[in-house]
């Protein structure tokens, strides 16, 4: 998360955190959250080595809606929200930088929102994944040494805008069923697991080729960044990246170079795995030999982790090499003087792939056949190196094949642009096939040319 100091995670035994309180849940729910520089007294975390049985949870004590009134942490808390506007805040003392896992049980008929806030009550992370009755959690939120706050509040139900003169109403009133709130200070992540904060290049978690890594889309807006070293890759090697599905979440996978320029990006549908294939690493003089892999998703799912894998292989000659979305990055279609060939690639909604066909010594007819994947609407166009449009095919809909035949003057390089129509529904990239052939144009007969016919006999 931005705003937190990047420090090494200190191994701390798992401890139970919660709110040590007394008395019963009460009113005071009409006041809104307000920021306060005074975080109140912190309470030391109680260590329970060996993971013994949980102690009895304390009961929250109102008022506790801001840092000044937040109850200090203890072993756990059982509380209730007294109406739609009630806010329950609890202070959390962190002895060393690391991560914290926080959970609140679901409440029948009430949609809960779980928040982690810093000493000044600024938002660090929030969980609002499920509907009414669903539990919420932050699996590995980053924390520095100091005081933080855990907040439980209600997400008000949407109501129709009142007519002029009508009372908007206060929404739900009275105490809700009880929730249980617990937090655990986490030790160092396991080998291959993400290390929060890791939302930008400066805090990225190291990632090795041919090894799997694990992470969570832990809260709304959570972005996991992984740092991949590429200096050992040989000429012609490519990268294939894959992320397993996360239930209920639409994942986005993006790869950027050392300067932050996007090389490839894809978004899948809800509950779908995503992948990027045939990525040719970009090494630029003066820049670090690294790429960054970013994973995000909507909505968040703190319960089910994803697995990221990166593999390397030698790219085939008839296989596209990404990125190739502009003429300066186009993939060549022939490697000698052959007059036919094929190219395999992948495309998703909004993608663009550019290929180049070197010049021929004679005038040619170029024939193209494009097989589109199901659900993807592809178009193909041909443009001379000079910028003159030669032709375009975009007659079919999603999944339909396209074909194009255009004349190519002698000595002319041609760029072929394959484009996929954007789609409001996220859809993972899928394979396509492009076939091409060149046929020499027969010379037109010259009027009056050739041998003169024999003169008629006398």
pLDDT, tens digit only, all 458 positions of the chain: 333 333 333 333 333 343 333 333 333 333 333 333 333 333 333 333 333 344 578 899 999 999 999 987 667 899 999 999 999 999 999 999 999 999 999 999 999 999 999 999 999 999 998 899 999 999 999 999 999 999 999 999 887 776 676 655 667 899 999 999 999 988 888 889 999 999 999 999 999 999 999 999 999 899 999 999 999 898 889 999 999 999 999 999 999 999 999 999 999 999 999 999 999 998 888 999 999 999 999 999 999 999 999 999 999 999 999 999 999 999 999 988 899 999 999 999 999 999 999 999 999 999 999 999 999 999 999 999 999 999 999 998 999 999 999 999 999 999 999 999 998 887 888 999 999 999 999 866 666 655 555 565 65
Phi-psi region of 236 (alpha: psi -120 to 50; beta: other; left: phi over 0): left
Q: How many CA atoms lie within 13 A of 144 on its CB side?
A: 12
Biggest CA pair distance of the chain: 135
Q: Using an 8 Å Cβ cutoff, are 238 and 282 in contact?
A: no
The pLDDT assigned to 31 comes to 36
The pLDDT assigned to 52 comes to 38
* Omega of the bond leading into 80 within 30 degrees of 0 (cis): no
Q: How many CA atoms lie within 13 A of 172 on its CB side?
A: 22
Residues 6+ apart with CB under 8 A from 275: 240, 241, 242, 243, 253, 266, 428, 429
Q: Any idea what the Cα angle at residue 396 is, between residues 435 and 329, rounded to 5°?
A: 45
The burial of 167, by beta-carbon neighbours within 10 Å (0-12 exposed, 13-18 middle, 19 or more buried), is given as exposed
The pLDDT assigned to 188 comes to 81
DSSP E strand stretches across 219-348: 223-229, 237-243, 250-256, 262-270, 274-279, 290-298, 301-314, 331-332, 340-347
Q: Using an 8 Å Cβ cutoff, are 26 and 62 in contact?
A: yes
Q: How many CA atoms lie within 13 A of 221 on its CB side?
A: 10
pTM, to two decimals: 0.75
User: What's the fold here for domain 327-440?
Assistant: Jelly Rolls (2.60.120)
* Omega of the bond leading into 430 within 30 degrees of 0 (cis): no
Sheet holding 112-117, edge to edge: 87-94, 146-154, 112-117, 123-127
Exposure class string for 145-154: b at 16+ Cβ within 10 A, else e: eebbbbbbbb
CATH architecture for segment(s) 15-157+172-186:
Sandwich (2.60)
Q: Any idea what the Cα angle at residue 450 is, between residues 448 and 452, rounded to 5°?
A: 80
Residues 6+ apart with CB under 8 A from 446: none
- Can you give the three-state secondary structure of 89-112, one letter per residue? EEEEEECCCEEEEEEECCECCECE
Domain with CATH 2.60.120.380 in the chain: 15-157+172-186, 201-314, 327-440
The pLDDT assigned to 427 comes to 82
The pLDDT assigned to 455 comes to 60
Tell me which residue of 433, 210, 177 sits closest to 319, measured CA to CA.
433
The pLDDT assigned to 448 comes to 61
Q: Using an 8 Å Cβ cutoff, are 6 and 61 in contact?
A: no
Helix (H) / strand (E) containing 73:
strand 73-74
CA 394 vs CA 330, 426, 431: distances in Å: 21, 21, 18
The pLDDT assigned to 26 comes to 35
Helices (H), 329-423: none
The pLDDT assigned to 162 comes to 66
The listed CATH number (2.60.120.380, 3.30.2130.10, 1.10.10.60, 3.30.1200.10) that belongs to domain 201-314: 2.60.120.380
């Amino acid at each position: 998360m931005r705003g937190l100091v990047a420090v090494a995670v200190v191994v701390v035994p798992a401890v139970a955190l919660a709110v040590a309180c007394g008395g019963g849940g009460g009113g005071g729910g009409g006041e809104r959250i307000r920021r306060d520089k005074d975080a109140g007294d912190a309470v030391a975390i109680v260590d329970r080595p060996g993971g013994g049985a949980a102690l009895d949870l304390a009961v929250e004590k109102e008022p506790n809606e801001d840092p000044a009134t937040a109850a200090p942490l203890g072993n756990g808390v059982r509380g209730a929200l007294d109406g739609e506007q009630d806010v329950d805040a609890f202070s959390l003392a962190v002895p060393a930088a690391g991560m914290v896992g926080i959970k609140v049980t679901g409440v029948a008929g009430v949609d809960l929102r779980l928040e982690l806030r810093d000493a000044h009550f600024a938002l660090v992370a929030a969980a609002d994944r499920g509907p009414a009755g669903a539990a919420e959690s932050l699996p590995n939120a980053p924390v520095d040494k100091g005081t933080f706050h855990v907040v439980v509040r209600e997400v008000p139900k949407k109501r129709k805008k009142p007519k002029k003169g009508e009372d908007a109403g206060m929404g739900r009133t009275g105490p809700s069923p009880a929730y249980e709130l617990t937090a655990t200070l986490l030790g160092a992540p396991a080998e291959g697991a993400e290390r929060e904060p890791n939302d930008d290049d400066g805090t990225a978690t190291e990632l090795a080729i041919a090894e799997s890594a694990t992470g969570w889309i832990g809260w709304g807006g959570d972005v996991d960044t992984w740092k991949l070293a590429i200096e050992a890759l040989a000429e012609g090697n490519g990268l294939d990246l894959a992320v397993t599905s996360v239930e209920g979440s639409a994942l986005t996978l993006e790869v950027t170079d050392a300067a932050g320029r996007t090389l490839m990006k894809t978004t899948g549908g809800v509950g779908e795995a995503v992948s990027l294939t045939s990525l040719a690493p970009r090494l630029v003089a003066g820049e670090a030999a690294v790429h960054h892999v970013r994973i995000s998703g909507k909505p968040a799912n703190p319960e089910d982790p994803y697995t990221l894998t990166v593999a390397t292989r030698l790219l085939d000659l008839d296989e596209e090499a990404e990125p190739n979305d502009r003429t300066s990055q186009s993939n060549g279609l022939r490697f000698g003087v052959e007059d036919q060939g094929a190219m395999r690639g992948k495309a998703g909604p909004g993608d663009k792939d550019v290929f180049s066909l070197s010049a021929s010594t004679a005038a040619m007819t170029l024939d193209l056949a494009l097989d589109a994947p199901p659900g993807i609407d592809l178009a193909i166009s041909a443009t001379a190196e000079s910028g003159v449009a030669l032709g375009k095919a975009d007659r079919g809909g999603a999944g339909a094949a396209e074909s194009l035949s255009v004349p190519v003057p002698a000595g002319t390089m041609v760029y072929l642009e394959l484009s996929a129509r954007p789609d409001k529904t996220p859809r993972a990239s899928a394979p396509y096939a492009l076939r091409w052939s060149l046929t020499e144009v027969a010379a037109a007969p010259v009027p009056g040319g050739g041998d003169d016919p024999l003169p008629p006999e006398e």
